[in-house]
Amino acid sequence: MTTARRVAITATVMFASSMYALDWTIAAVALPHMQGTFSATQDQISWVLTSYIVISAIAMPTTAWLAERLGRKKLYLIAISGFTFFSVLCGGADSLETEIAYRLAQGAFGAFLIPLSQSILLDTYPPAQHAKAMAIWSVGIMLAPVIGPTVGGYLTHEYSWRWVFFINIPMGLLGILGGVIFLAKMPRSQAARGFDWLGFFALAIGVGALQTMLDRGERLDWFQSGEVIIESTLVVAGLYIFVVQGLSAKAPMVNLRLFHDRNYALGTFFAFLYGLLSLAPLVMLPPFLQNLQGYPITTVGLLMSPRGLGMMFSMMLFGRFSTMLDPRMWVTLGFCLLGFSSMAMSQWTLEVSAWQISWTGWVQGMGAGIVVAPLNFITFSSLDPRHRTEASSVWNLVRSLGSSMGLAIALAILVRMSSTSHAGLSENINPYNKSLWLFGGIWRPAPDNPALSFAEAEIARQAAMIGYLDVFYLSAITSVIVVPLVFLIKKAPSAPRR
């Protein structure tokens, strides 16, 4: 295969995977505007994001089976065409119900793009260039969610929130054109297996119940609620059946025997941890900057851009010097940078400067980029190439679950700690606190004193800040304590077998 053709194929699959990854976060900064359009509550509008993630996690493991039935090129074209079509419908939705329905369809089609792109790219490059290929591919898939809030903020401010979906049209058309011209037609399997309906429904029930439980648990007081108990039961039952089916069935939807490969098993575990740590800051920082710092939506996008630049720089660095260090050292460095940046963020105050926000974002982006590129290389280095599409589907499924769980856990901690802190701080607002009598009595507690409303607003800001700091601190601790586990991974061969 010529170098020019490899470049064309790489650009094509990067368009597709980047478009799917972009839609994870591009709608985040537009949610307040969508909430106003649809007259929805905060709980209801959050499903615009979570429905996309959940359906993607459910549909992703079916990629290998569909690729066997349809052929990889045909499935790729169906996936990107469907994703583009439903992006248009998302932008034109006139109610919350239709918006969520279109997001479900968009996520279902888009779920195939990541594992297909990953396996196509691995087959396009020789084994000795797999690390470099994964670094290049990772630039697109991991940079897109980072620049999503920036692009979304600009489009929402200058046009409307609907354009965060319409932007997929030119990208989708380029991806379709590239797929038709450059991708080789892959033959369908002559011995395609039957579809594992039991495994599919078990996964759908388990993942759907898990996300619903995480989204609603905090508001329902967790296991004090009958709904949460039912959902947790469905989670355990669904995932148990899915695992048993994957290990024992003759032709499971997902062959969990792949986890007999040590590097693949550990690499997938770290993909889960990466997802757990990476998405929450992307989604939580925009409201933090808007609501607590008072930045306009366009400035929020600019303040988030250093994270994307840091990620791009680190992936270019890995692509250039990947052979100079053991990939496990790269992953270790990445998690350490994630922990350092999160610890720095946990020291912020309400007077945090734009410079502090920018440099911590840069370091966090560096850490994210240094983790994901070598992790891709390590995970698939010892797997039989025949299992790449299926293995990539499972890897991305687990990463998606980690992302959705990380976001739900972070939001639950934010709400719980903000409420607790608000109650504690409010106890100091009473007639016996003489510090409130300063400044000529302006803070004197009295029913007709307007200063009380200002005090309440300030307490709410301080309590919310404490909630954010607790999330950042937990992220820092988690990033560091997983580092020793990296060295359980076997050293990847310098030239993985094909």
Rounded Cα distance between 282 and 146, Å, is: 7
Instruction: pLDDT band for 162, please (50, 70, 90 cuts).
Output: very high
More confident residue, 103 or 305: 103
Percentage of residues in the chain with pLDDT exceeding 90? 18
State the pLDDT at residue 355: 92
In terms of Cβ atoms closer than 10 Å to its own Cβ (0-12, 13-18, 19+), residue 443 is middle
Cβ pair 211, 404 in contact under 8 A = yes
- Report the candidate in 462, 458, 455 with the shortest Cα–Cα distance to residue 421: 462
The tokens describing 346, both together, are 């946990």
Does 383 have pLDDT greater than 90? Answer: no
| Per-residue pLDDT tens digits for 78-136 | 999 999 999 999 999 999 999 999 999 999 999 888 888 878 887 888 877 777 777 77
Please enumerate in sequence order all residues whose Cβ is within 8 A of that of 181, keeping only pairs 6 or more positions apart, or say none: 8
Report residue 344 CA to chain centroid gap: 22
Cβ pair 254, 394 in contact under 8 A = yes
State the pLDDT at residue 299: 82
State the pLDDT at residue 84: 94
More confident residue, 361 or 492: 361
| Per-residue pLDDT tens digits for 326-367 | 888 888 999 999 999 999 999 998 888 999 999 999 999 888
Rounded Cα distance between 110 and 434, Å, is: 60
Cβ pair 121, 13 in contact under 8 A = yes
The tokens describing 423, both together, are 């109650």
State the pLDDT at residue 495: 41
More confident residue, 440 or 269: 269
φ, ψ dihedrals at 448, nearest 5°: -100, 15
How open is the CA angle 87-91-94, to the nearest 5 degrees? 130
